[in-house]
Amino acid sequence: MNNSRFWQQSQHRAGPYSPEFRTGEQQRVLSVPATSVIGLQWGDEAKGKIVDILTESHQIVVRYQGGNNAGHTVRFDGRTYKLSLLPTGILQKHVTSVIAPGVVVNPLALLRELDGLAAGGQNCESRLMVSDRAHVICPWHLLEEAALEKSRGSAAIGTTMRGIGTCYREKVGRTHAIRIGDLIRRDVFAAKVREIVPFKQRILDVLDPEGPRMDIDQIITEYSDAADRIRPLAADTTSWLLDALDANKWILFEGAQGSLLDVDHGTFPYVTSSNSSGCGIHSGSGVPERAIERMIGVAKAYTTRVGGGPFPSELNNEIGNRIRIAGNEFGTVTGRPRRCGWFDAVATRYSARISGVDSITIALLDVLSGFEEVSICEAYDIDGRITKTLPTSCEDLAAAKPVLRTLPGWQEDITGITEFFALPTNAQQYCRTIEQIMGRPIEFVSVGPDRVQTIRLKR
């Protein structure tokens, strides 16, 4: 028995707006574009800020991959909100926020985040749906990840230690996976935990003989208590979203991580374990790709990376430090200092192409104010071979030296500017150069963390 309050709504019924009822003309008139926001670098591009701005004009916001490894900061009305697993739409009362099947959900982290928002006066639980197909992060995922990362020494991926990769591995492996639909059925969940924990404990004992021991009853109690709160939020979000699309609701898809962390298309193995490029929208949400008519790619005016892996335009020098301080480049989730470098047009253009973005956002442009010169990495030199294509091997990417195009900088504070033509000429030229290399028009330029510090270009 599914007693979710969304269950009734999520049963598909062909209505007047369903495709089977439409004439060709109606289909054209009634089709409402869904929009997506995708990170084009290694994460933290200010996706959260752009999603927050677009949320005003949408009714549904969907997270479709990743988990509480994400960290999105939004600022408006003098307040700062930090979101991790919850879709950014959760802050808006008119929005239903959806955690779709492709997300991995740590139930305890989900409730902590909801409680944190409630403590700040934002009661959002009634506006949230969680897919019963989404997979559940359990204690053994965290313990196994910690042991694996430790064993890799200097070759560690530098994960967020949230059990993301180990949970996705169980999902794809299909043997010891638990979904939200299992979690909310007490007996099913308890039986699975009793089967999985002894097996996992044997592996953990080998990986880390000094490591902690799991307590089966404690896990069942703690997770079942969380399940009691999650049960009313659980639903078949896939059918619900398809119905919403038929009903011409405005849907916004919110990417987590960045395209270069995509497990299939990113800088493997220094990636996350989901399809964080635009390629993940269809598989992660169940909404067909052709329903998405507008893809916005977000990139910083420079590049950052947190964790291990090659980074050709990295600045291990005073300039990198200056960018880190000016941009407050410290991880939202782990607090780690982010590695900083010049804008990598090779990697970012690759991301824009695989996700098929229609337009780009250049964020944190204000951070580059005050430099005499600013540079863009427009090609790689790999052992004397010049290329504008992102290499597939990590070894080649590690060997790549940036070929830089250097432009004059600007000294003015731009954080109060609201029109593109009012930016210093050199800042305009910098943006136009990126636009030209990327081959996509700029839609937004962000000049500060607040919602109002955003320039929207007329298209």
In whole angstroms, how far apart are CA 62 and each of 55, 126, 196, 254? Answer: 11, 15, 31, 6
44 part of the interface to ligand IMO, by CB under 6 A: yes
254 part of the interface to ligand IMO, by CB under 6 A: no
**Which residue, 195 or 419, has its beta carbon nearer to ligand GDP?**
419
71 part of the interface to Mg ion, by CB under 5 A: yes
89 part of the interface to ligand IMO, by CB under 6 A: no
In whole angstroms, how far apart are CA 288 and each of 40, 60, 285? Answer: 21, 16, 8
334 part of the interface to ligand GDP, by CB under 6 A: no
- Could you count the other beta carbons within 10 Å of the beta carbon of residue 79? 11
266 part of the interface to ligand IMO, by CB under 6 A: no
Instruction: Find the shortest distance in angstroms from Cβ 334 to ligand IMO.
Output: 7
Exposure string of 46-55, with b = 16+ CB inside 10 Å and e = fewer, is bbbbbbbbbb
Query: If you write DSSP's letter for every residue of 37-106 in order, what string do you get?
Result: EEE-SSS-SSHHHHHHHHHTT-SEEEE-SB-TT--EEEEETTEEEEESSS-GGGG-TT-EEEE-TTBEE-
Give the list of residues 6+ apart from residue 346 with CB closer than 8 angstroms, or none: 312, 377, 378, 379, 380, 387, 388, 389, 390
In the range 146-205, which residues lie near Mg ion by CB under 5 A? none
Tell me which of 128, 287, 306, 340 binds ligand IMO, using CB under 6 A.
Answer: 306
Residue 377: phi, psi to the nearest 5? -85, 110
Stretch that binds ligand GDP, among 67-75, 202-210, 286-294, 392-400 (CB under 6 A): 67-75
Looking at residue 400, the DSSP 8-state letter turns out to be P
Q: Is 72 a catalytic residue?
A: yes
- Between CA 373 and CA 363 the distance in angstroms is 18
Cα–chain center distance at 398: 24
- 311 contacts 341 by C-beta, under 8 angstroms: yes
Instruction: Find the shortest distance in angstroms from Cβ 356 to ligand GDP.
Output: 19
Tell me which of 109, 305, 446, 455 binds ligand GDP, using CB under 6 A.
Answer: 446
Instruction: Find the shortest distance in angstroms from Cβ 309 to Mg ion.
Output: 16
Stretch that binds ligand GDP, among 113-121, 174-182, 359-367, 398-406 (CB under 6 A): 359-367
Stretch that binds ligand IMO, among 159-167, 219-227, 320-328, 421-429 (CB under 6 A): 159-167
58 part of the interface to ligand GDP, by CB under 6 A: no
# of chain residues touching ligand IMO (CB under 6 A): 23
72 part of the interface to ligand GDP, by CB under 6 A: yes
Looking at residue 384, the DSSP 8-state letter turns out to be T
Tell me which of 10, 40, 54, 71 binds ligand GDP, using CB under 6 A.
Answer: 71
Instruction: Find the shortest distance in angstroms from Cβ 255 to ligand IMO.
Output: 8
**Which among 52, 58, 72, 282 is annotated as catalytic?**
72
Residue among 107, 84, 98 at smallest CA distance from 226: 107
- By the criterion CB under 5 A, which residues form the site for Mg ion? 44, 71, 332
- By the criterion CB under 6 A, which residues form the site for ligand IMO? 39, 42-44, 69-72, 157-160, 162, 164-165, 256-258, 261, 272-273, 306-307
Active site residues: 44, 72
